[in-house]
Amino acid sequence: MLEHTLIKRIELLIEEKKYAQIKSLLPLHSEDIAELISQLSAYAHKTLVFRLIPYSQAVEVFEYLSTEEEEELLKTLNSQEIRDILNEMSPDDRTELFDEMPAEVVKRFINLLSPQERKIALEILNYPAESVGRLITPDFVQLYENMTVEEAIVHIRSVSIQKETIYRCYVLDDNKRLIGIVSLKSLVLSQPVTKIKDVMIKDVIKVTAFTDREEAANIFKRYDRMVLPVVDNNDKLLGIVTFDDLVDVLEEEATEDFEKIAAVLPVEKPYLEANLFELIWKRSFWLIVLVVLESASSIVMKNYGDIIQRWVALSFFLPVLIATGGNAGMQSAMIVVRGLTTGDIGVKDFFKVVLRESLLGLSIGLILAVVGLIRVYFQESSQWMLSVSVGVAMGVTVMFAAVTGAALPIIFRKLRLDPALMSGPLITTIVDVMGVFLYFKIAMLMLGN
C-alpha cells in the first residue's frame, strides 16, 4: 500500500499546480502509479496525474486500473489519446474494458482501432462471455516444424518485444495447426542446425476458445502451467491465455460463489461503490424467497398443535434440532460444492457421495441422538420417552440433512445449474422444514396420539 502522506502530498501539489514536483514523486512501477491514481479522491486529480505519466508507460498504467476508472479516464481524453491507448492495450484487457461499457460506446471505440486490432477485438468479443476465448491474446511466438534452431532464435529476437511471453513457443504445421511446443531453454541448449520438429514436445496441453474459464483454471492448476494455447475445432492456434488473466476470473468466481452461498444476488461493484437500493434488492430477494419457504414450518407446527399442547416441552428443544440439522446440512453442502469446483467430485459419483454421507450422517446422528437424549433427560426431570423422542428426531434429522446437503448440489450440477445455489440458507431452510416435520412425526409415534 502507498503511504497516505504521499497521496496527501500529491493532492496538495495539484492544488498548487506544481506539476513538475508531482512527476518527480511518481513511483517507478506501473502497478504503484495505478494504485496512487486509484487512491486520489477527485476524478479530475486522477486525470491530471495520468496525463503526467510518460507516454511509454501510460498504457501499462491504464491496464492496471479498475474498469470503472478506465471508463472515467476515457471520458476525459481526446479521440487521438483514446485511439493510442486502445490500440496499444493487450487484447484481453481491452476486451474486459469493452465488456463493461454500453454497446454504443464500444462500437465507437472499436472504430478507433486499427484494421488489425479491430479484427482481433471483434473476434474475441464474439466468443461467449464465460469462455476462454474472451481472455486470449494473439501475442505469442509461433515457429514452424522445419525451421532450424538458429532460424527460430533469430525470429524470436525480431518479434519478442511485441509478444506477451517468449519462454514457450508454439510450433505449427503448414496449415497453421498446433503440433508442438518448445521452450526457450531447449532452443538455447540445442545445436543451431537442429530442426524444431526434433526438439519440440508433441503432447501439448491445450484448450479451445469455447472452454469455460473455470475449467481452464482447473487445467492450469492440474498441470502447473503459466500459459495455455487456445485452438479452434480444427486445432488451429488462435492465441494464448496466461494464468494472471485467470487469477482475476477465479477471484470473481469465488466472490460470486460466496454471495450465492450467503443467499445474495451477485453485486457487480465493490461494496462501498454499490448503490444502496441495489444492495437492498440484491439482499432482500433471496430473503423473501426463504421467508416464503420457511413459512411451511408454521404450517407443519399448526398440524401438530394437539401434541404440542400435551407435550409443551417439545417446543423447548425445537430450536436446537433446527440449528443442528441446518449445520449438518451446511457441512455436507460445502464439502460437496468444494469437491465439484475442484473436480474431486463429479456427477457420476452421485451414489457414492450419497452413500458416504448417509453413513456419516447416521454415525454423527447417533452421537448427537445420545447427546440430545441426555440433555433432555436432565432438563425435563427424567422423562425417558420425551428424551428418547427428541434424541431419535435429532439423529434422523442430522442424517436427512447430510444426505440432502450432499445430493442437491450434485443434482444442480447435473441440471447445468450452479451448485453454489444449493448451499447456505437455502439448504438450511429445506432442512428446517423437513426437520420440523420429522420431529413432530417421531414425537407422535413415540409419545402417542
We report the CATH number of the domain holding residue 95 as 1.25.60.10
- pLDDT of 1 > 70? The answer is no
182 in the same domain as 286: no
Q: What is the pLDDT of residue 316?
A: 74
Q: Is residue 226 part of a domain?
A: yes
Residue 201: helix, strand or coil by DSSP? Answer: strand
Same domain, 347 and 302: yes
Instruction: Kindly state whether residues 60 and 205 are assigned to the same domain.
Output: no
Same domain, 14 and 114: yes
Interval 309-351: pLDDT, tens:
777 777 777 777 788 888 888 888 878 877 877 777 888 888 8
pLDDT confidence of 150, banded at 50, 70, 90?
very high
Q: Find all residues with CB under 8 Å of 292, minimum gap 6, and list them.
A: none
Lowest mean pLDDT among 82-96, 197-211, 303-317: 303-317
Per-residue pLDDT, 84: 86
CA angle (411, 368, 435) in 5-degree steps: 50
Examine residue 136 and state whether it is found in any structural domain, yes or no. no
Please tell me whether residues 184 and 211 are part of one structural domain.
yes
Percentage of residues in the chain having pLDDT higher than 70: 87
Amino acid at 355: L
What are the start-end ranges of the E strands in 253-309? none
Residue 413 lies in a domain: yes
Confidence band of 151 (pLDDT split at 50, 70, 90): very high
Q: Please tell me the pTM assigned to this model.
A: 0.58
Residues 52 and 115 in one domain: yes
| Tally of domains within the chain | 3
Return d(Cα 96, Cα 99) in angstroms, integer: 5
Round the CA-based radius of gyration of the chain to a whole number and report it: 30
Residues 285 and 434 in one domain: yes
In this structure, the answer to whether residues 309 and 222 fall within a common structural domain is no
CA distances to 59, 87, 103, 221 from 56, in Å: 7, 13, 30, 34
Q: Name the burial class of residue 41, with classes exposed (0-12), middle (13-18) and buried (19+) by CB atoms within 10 angstroms of its CB.
A: exposed
What are the tens digits of pLDDT across the range 236-264? 888 888 877 777 776 666 666 666 665 55
Residue type, 300: V
One domain, residues 52 and 105: yes
**Assigned C-alpha cell, 177:** 495447426
For residues 174 and 279, membership in a common domain is answered with no
Highest mean pLDDT of the ranges 126-130, 189-193, 375-379, 415-419: 189-193
Could you tell me how far CA 84 lies from the centroid of its own chain? Answer: 32
Q: Which residue pairs from 334-338 have beta carbons closer than 8 angstroms and sit at least 24 positions apart in sequence?
A: 334/261, 334/423, 335/406, 336/405, 336/406, 336/409, 336/410, 336/419, 337/257, 337/261, 337/409, 337/419, 337/420, 337/422, 337/423
- Stronger pLDDT, 7 or 317, i.e. the higher one: 7
**87 and 149 part of one domain:** no
One domain for residues 115 and 235:
no
For residue 249, being part of any structural domain is answered with no
Query: Is residue 191 domain-resident?
Result: yes
Of 196, 97, 206, give the one whose Cα is nearest residue 153: 196
Where residue 355 sits, what CATH number does that domain have? 1.10.357.20
CA pair distance 183, 378, nearest whole angstrom: 72
Any domain includes 263: no
Cell numbers linked to 362: 447416521
Residues 72, 279: Cα–Cα separation, whole Å? 23
Residue count of the chain: 449
From 198, 226, 243, the end of a domain falls on 243
Q: What are phi and psi of 311, to 5 degrees?
A: -120, 75
pLDDT value at residue 193:
92
Q: Is residue 197 a part of any domain in this protein?
A: yes
The pLDDT of residue 265: 55
Residue at 260 is within a domain:
no
Domain endpoint, select from 224, 243, 262: 243
Q: What domain range includes position 435?
A: 271-447
Query: Residue 164, SS3?
Result: coil
Summarize pLDDT for 215-236 with one digit per residue, the tens: 888 888 778 888 889 888 888 8
For residues 397-412, give the mean pLDDT: 85
SS (H, E, C) 340-391: HHHCCCCHHHHHHHHHHHHHHHHHHHHHHHHHHHHHHHHHCCCCHHHHHHHH
Residue 242: half-sphere exposure toward Cβ, Cα within 13 Å: 16
